[in-house]
Amino acid sequence: MSQRENQFQAVVIGASAGGIHALQQVLMPLPADFPLPIIVVQHLHPDAGAYLPQLLDNKCQLKVKQADEKEFVQAGWVYLAPPAYHLLIEEDHSLSLSLEAPVSYSRPSVDVLFESAIFAYGKRLIGIILTGANSDGALGIKKIKQAGGYVIVQAPETAEADAMPKAAIAAVAGNQAVDKILALDQIGQYLLQWVNRNFLGIRMK
Amino acid sequence: MQNLENQNIELQLLLQAIYLKYGYDFRQYAKASIKRRVLYHLEKHHLSNISQMQHRLLHDVAFFDSLLLDMSVNVTEMFRDPACYRVLRKEVLPALKDFPHIKIWHAGCATGEEVYSMAILLKEMGLYERTQIYATDINEKVLKQAKEGVFPISRLRQYTQNYQKAGGTESFSDYYHAQYEHVVMDRKLRKNILFSDHNLATDNVFGEMHLILCRNVLIYFDRGLQNRVLNLFDEALIKSGFLCLGSKESLNFSTVTEHFDVIAKTEKVYRKKNEEKT
Ligand SMILES: C[S@@+](CC[C@H](N)C(=O)[O-])C[C@H]1O[C@@H](n2cnc3c(N)ncnc32)[C@H](O)[C@@H]1O
């Protein structure tokens, strides 16, 4: 069997205030055969239940679900952290949940997801920060850059809450910078093109 | 970033060292979370790599104790996931009421909030006097707190709400008295509870149980260790005994799935089948 191999292996996304709308904008343009699994932390009320994955699943071509403990991630799927649990990716690409203390007041925490994703995927990771009113994810974005991954941030002026994208951009300012700062309505299309441009060719299995 | 491969080797060696020196076996815990907590501890103590940390913890017991605290997740609450307690009240305990003697095991009980919640439930159903509760954990510090049954008053509002959502029939304030910043649980609830040290990764079954609760513990284990523990529970339960897991946990990836019926899917309540194993 042969398989088209991509330079990237996964996409992680962090969002907070305004994220429900922003996630729809980003995910809706992606086709059902998008080649990478997408793992998302969206801050929600602890009692929010599975409303958001349901909503996104209805609107997107990709399949969207709440992450289950120890399931393996697959291309074609979007996984969302359950409210009130941290979501982590293991090195075997299965998902773990955890009730560890909130990190910068957040559980799930974007930083926790991103950090574990770096250990699982190294530089073959794309990190995206969307709208939000805190600075969760800034440290994670910085670490993804340090590990050689690719980083996209929503343009703050297009964000319902601009603190989170601003913090992410500031965290890597200086010698490095985020790879792309894009208006909300461009992120999905760009992601699709960028991933398609980075196929390494056919790998024989 | 430090070479990932080296870091993973160092982490494995660290867990091996902890096991050999102190007997705590974290080797089959879910790695991502363990690694996060080890690295957090590393930063806190300004150590430059995990090997340095290993050296330090072999020679410094106090250092190990502090690491152990950072490695354990003990958050809990009274009547956590109230819906689960409603299933216990409506379906599980009524099925046990004809036994002259009931044995319940809380595995990974942390500071005991869940155990006192169970004691209250049993009292309200008139089953407390015939029940023996075994509450176990690996962490002696939390077990000590559990025995004392003293909880911060700041959490009480939420506990009272949980109690009501869980279908409590009395007034929650009957079960504790307030003392400054704390509440002390009614001593009568303690009478039939035995708190003790038990490690799910290394210890064995210690009796036949009618009901086992192990909630929010398995999520910290890898699939192999989850399976070991679920087999342990399968062995400990009487036929038609009940098993209650945390709301994000399940029997899905284990070898005992077929031995159980699902009683409540969302609340993660299972019942062992009443037939010989094949
Ligand atoms: C998050 S608490 C769960 C408390 C309670 N069951 C609840 O759901 O609220 C997890 C507990 O599991 C305990 N634990 C971790 N590893 C264990 C092991 N190998 N054997 C027994 N208990 C363990 C920890 O010490 C901690 O107190």
Q: Tens of pLDDT along B216-255?
A: 999 999 999 999 999 999 999 999 999 999 999 999 889 9
State the nearest Cα–Cα gap between B97 and chain A, in angstroms. 33
Yes or no: say if B260 and B240 are a contact pair by the CB < 8 Å rule: no
Residues contacting ligand 1 via CB (< 6 Å): A 99; B 72-76, 80, 108-110, 114, 137-139, 142, 199-201, 215-217, 220, 246
A contact test, residue of B6, B10, B35, B36 with most A CBs within 10 A: B36
Which residues of B are less than 8 Å from A70 in CB distance? 30, 222-223, 226, 253
Instruction: State residue B102 phi and psi, 5-degree precision.
Output: -115, 135
| ipTM of the predicted assembly exceeds 0.85 | yes
| Lookup: tokens for B181 | 């910043």
Cα(B176)–Cα(B190) distance, integer angstroms = 12
The residue of chain B nearest to residue A71, with distances taken between CA atoms, is: B253
Confidence (pTM): 0.93
By residue count, chain A amounts to 205
Cα(B18)–Cα(A106) distance, integer angstroms = 31
Using alpha carbons, select from B63, B69, B134 the residue that is nearest to residue B105: B134
User: Would you call A91 an interface residue with chain B, using a CB distance cutoff of 8 Å?
Assistant: yes
Using alpha carbons, select from A42, A197, A35 the residue that is nearest to residue A128: A42
Q: B32 and A119 in contact by Cβ < 8 A? A: yes
> What interhelical angle do A138-146 and A163-171 show, nearest 10?
30
A1 — pLDDT class (breaks 50, 70, 90) = very low
Residue ID of nearest Cα to ligand 1 atom 3: B216
Yes or no: say if A130 and A26 are a contact pair by the CB < 8 Å rule: yes
Q: Give SS3 for A93.
A: coil
Buried b (16+ CB within 10 A) or exposed e, B41-58: bbeeeebeebeebbeebb
Yes or no: say if A182 and A129 are a contact pair by the CB < 8 Å rule: no
At B54-77, the pLDDT tens digits run 999 999 999 999 999 888 899 999
A200 — pLDDT class (breaks 50, 70, 90) = confident
Cα(B29)–Cα(B15) distance, integer angstroms = 10
- CA–centroid distance, residue B215 to ligand 1 (Å): 8
Host H or E run for residue B194? strand B193-197
Host H or E run for residue A140? helix A138-146
CA distance to A112, B2, B181, B235, B248, per residue, from A101 (Å): 11, 26, 22, 33, 17
Cα(A145)–Cα(A177) distance, integer angstroms = 8
- For residue B1, the cross-strand partners are none
DSSP code at position A72: B
Domains of chain B with CATH codes: 2-71 (no CATH), 82-272 (3.40.50.150)
Residue ID of nearest Cα to ligand 1 atom 2: B74
User: Would you call A131 an interface residue with chain B, using a CB distance cutoff of 8 Å?
Assistant: no
Domains of chain A with CATH codes: 10-200 (3.40.50.180)
Q: Does residue A175 surpass a pLDDT of 80?
A: no
The residue of chain A nearest to residue B224, with distances taken between CA atoms, is: A70
Cite the active site residues of A. 16, 43, 136
E-assigned strand segments in A29-186: 38-42, 63-66, 77-80, 86-89, 95-98, 125-129, 150-154, 180-182
pLDDT tens across the length of chain B (278 residues): 457 888 999 999 999 999 999 999 999 999 999 999 999 999 999 999 999 999 999 999 999 999 998 888 999 999 999 999 999 999 999 999 999 999 999 999 999 999 999 999 999 999 999 999 999 999 999 999 999 999 999 999 999 999 999 999 999 999 999 999 999 999 999 999 999 999 999 999 999 999 999 999 999 999 999 999 999 999 999 999 999 999 999 998 899 999 999 999 999 999 999 986 55
| Lookup: tokens for A57 | 């699943």
